[in-house]
Amino acid sequence: MTRIAAVRGALAAHRHTQSEITDIVARTCLPEGADRRVLDRLHRGAKVRRRHMTLPLERYAELDGFGSANDVFVDAAPALGATAVRDALRAAGLAPADVDLLIFTSVTGVATPSVDARLVGRLGLRPDVKRLPLFGLGCAGGAAGLARMHDYLLGRPDDVAVLLSVELCSLTFQRDDASLANLVATGLFGDGAAAVVACGADRSGGRAGPTVVDTRSHLYPDTGRVMGWDVRDSGFRVVLDPRVPEVVRAHLADDVEGFLGDHGLKPKDVTAWVCHPGGPKVLHAVTEALDLPGGALDVTWRHLADVGNLSSSSVLHVLRDTLAERRPPPGTPGVLLAMGPGFACELVLLSW
């Protein structure tokens, strides 16, 4: 089994209250003189108190299209990602030269050479390190990246792998777009990164941690327009269907129960749920679908309030905080789960 040696996160430099962000969204997204009561209601309903942003708030009005926003991503993503990876390697007790595979996931910008390539020299990784950049997984990317890292280490049990997620969601907010989807997104998403260091079963050294037992992916039919991007000259225009909670209620319980059942487990056996903070309605749907006890998603709810939804990075931040603050009894089962474009669910079975 894959051993998780460390999880660390990093947040963008500029921290603002939700009301400050709502004000700048009103000025840049709504028509002049428009009634902002719907915007205010949506941003309050997100249950987010504060978020971290890549740029000072006043600079977002200067981003006049895909090119200018992506230039900021190409500059800022390697710097924030390097911080997360350095911290994770240090916490794991491993050196950059120990890393055999670097996986990078993001859905908020593109770069060629990819961000992982730009980090090799910056971090002092070996020039023969294997690299795997992933794009398009959205909020599921952290869970999917952890699953693919596990797949690799099953075949390379002597290796060390690093998963890096960097999501600069604020760079995707659309100017002059008063659609409900854009207003919801501007009230929910923030900017951050996370890194996971994992070791194969035969790899010595590094810190002890939970293990990955198994993974499962499920792509739901006829849900391609539930979540994603429409790529325009203005950048990434969010696709966010109000039916997301309905899809969760319709499918998640069967997926989780079947996955756990293959290991002789039931949801009541799980001692910690590491859930992506998709938003209040999604979290209520997860709780109802899985019939979770009160407090089961407290770490997720707190993460949502403190920094918002960091897309693929969020579930890894929740994993970090679970290990640091609410670590379950050793040897008990845990489930890490996230959902994203496709529409798809990613599940990871952990042993604490």
Active site residues: 139
CA–CA separation, 212 and 214 (whole Å): 6
* Residues 6 or more apart whose Cβ sits within 8 Å of residue 86: 123
Tokens of 337: 């789960």
CA–CA separation, 286 and 307 (whole Å): 20
* Residues 6 or more apart whose Cβ sits within 8 Å of residue 217: 144, 147, 344, 345, 346, 347
3-state secondary structure of 43: helix
- How many Å is the maximal CA-CA distance in the chain? 64
| Sequence letter at residue 220 | Y
* Residues 6 or more apart whose Cβ sits within 8 Å of residue 229: 107, 172, 236, 237, 238, 239, 341
Q: Tell me if 157 sits within 8 A of 198, measured CB to CB.
A: no
CA–CA separation, 173 and 188 (whole Å): 11
116 burial class (0-12, 13-18, 19+ CB within 10 angstroms)?
buried
CA–CA separation, 193 and 101 (whole Å): 18
- For residue 114, CA distances in Å to 119, 120, 341 come to 9, 11, 21
CA angle 235/241/244 to nearest 5° reads 125
